[in-house]
Every structure is written in C-alpha cells, then in structure tokens.
Amino acid sequence: MSDTKGTKVALITGANKGIGLETARQLGKLGVTVVVGSREMRRGEEAAEVLRGVGVDARAIQLDVTSEADCAAAAKYIGREFGRLDILINNAAVNLDQGAGYETSTTPVEAIRETFETNFFAVVDLTQRLLPLIRKSEAGRIVNVSSAQGSLKLLAPKDSTIYATKTFSYDASKTALNSFTLHLAHELKGTKIKVNSVHPGWVKTDMGGQMAPLELVDGAKTSVRLATLGEDGPTGEYFHMDLALPW
C-alpha cells in the first residue's frame, strides 16, 4: 500500500486530456495524489507523465467507465494502493448529438442509450463501487461534472442564453446525472461526504470547440473548489464557479 498518510487521494475519470487533465494538475498542485482514469492506458500513462513533470504525484489506470471490469479493477486498485478514496470526480462524458444534426424527434434511440451509458449509468456504477472506499475518508467529496444544459430551469426559458442549444441525448443525460447528485447527497447528508454537481462553463476542449470563451484553467476551477470543500461546505447543490445554479 502506498504511503499517503496526510495526503488526499483523488480519482478523476476521463483525466488524460481537457478539463479532466487540468483538474488533475490543479489538484496535484494542492498536494493531492491523483489517479488518472483513462479509457486507453497509453494515453493515461502519457498524461500521468506530464503531471509528474510538473511535480504532481500522479498514477494512471485504465478506466473505460462503461466497462464493468474496468470499474471493478479501479476499485480494487484504489483499495489495495491507498485503502480509501478522498475525492471522486466523475468527469468522463460524451456528446454524440454534437455535429450529428439530430432533432429530438430523429435522435436514434441507440445514440440516447450510448450517451446515457457513459454520462449516467457508468457514473452511478462507478460511484457505488467506490463508495465503501469514500466512506473511509475523513472528508469524502464526490463531484459530478454536469452542464448548464442539464438544468431544465436554464434550458426552458425562451430568453435563456442556451435556449437555442438543444442536444437531446446529452442534455437529458446531464439532467439525470443532476438527479443522482441530489439523491445521493440526501442519502449521505448525515455523513462527512459531500456530493455536488458542477457546470464547468463553455470551455475550449474537443467538445467545447475553439470558439468557447473559457480556457482549460477556468474550466477546472469549479470541480477543484468542490473537491476541496471544507467541513462547512455545501452538499446536494449545483455550481458554476461560486454561483449556485437552479436544477
């Protein structure tokens, strides 16, 4: 077992690039040991090497979140290496609607199922598997990376800045993810574990595109803040930066 006494341990899914990698860098700079979850081990190792190059204690594991075998192996690895998990950031996601030209009425059911497998069911599965290890933390933190498009309150009004942005599979999967946040936070309200959803913002990533106004360093800030909340911090809420968002 690795000697991480006094050091927090975080698992970040989809951490080999984009917001996930930047989140790992920022947490690592705060002294957190970071486990980089990546669908391809080679890319995870490359990301971990980059992080180690800037002084971060980073380890890589193969973690395709839709693979039950990978999720089981991740839980076994963390239990063996650290004996607990302090921070879980469910960052991995897909947007199959993007660029496909789907209308809601023509979105293939297969695309909806595939989106939900990654963005919702996989999050529930992995979190449930890791919860026994998170319960062993002195201050467990679960961060579900959602989107403003998961908020029905923000998506519905005709004067909303995101009213015209309707990607049915992605939006619905993030709404479901927000529901998981609310329900799990309610279950754990009597514990030291805090569960929150985040909207990272419109960020320059493969998904966000280069027209996005925010840089990666900004896109990771909300996840990092909620991953490092103090004892008096919120749970069962939904944030972008310091702004609480409506469900």
Evaluate whether 44 touches 123 at the Cβ level (below 8 Å).
no
CA distance 27 to 227: 9
Place of tokens 């320059």: 204
CA distance 162 to 240: 15
Cα–Cα distances (Å) from 108 to 94, 99, 115, 164, 173, in that order, read 15, 14, 11, 20, 15
Task: Mark whether 197 is an active-site residue.
Answer: no
Task: Mark whether 8 is an active-site residue.
Answer: no
CA distance 65 to 109: 20
Q: Which long-range contacts (CB under 8 A, 24 or more apart) does 47-52 make?
A: 47/15, 47/16, 47/17, 47/21, 50/21, 51/21, 51/24, 51/25
Give the SS3 label for residue 102. Answer: coil
Evaluate whether 207 touches 98 at the Cβ level (below 8 Å).
yes
User: Left, alpha or beta for 3 (phi > 0: left; psi -120 to 50: alpha)?
Assistant: beta
CA distance 28 to 13: 15
Of residues 8, 146, 151, 174, which has the active-site annotation?
174
Torsion over CA: 212, 155, 240, 137 (sign): negative
Of residues 38, 137, 146, 147, which has the active-site annotation?
147
CA distance 135 to 57: 23
**Residues with catalytic function:** 147, 174
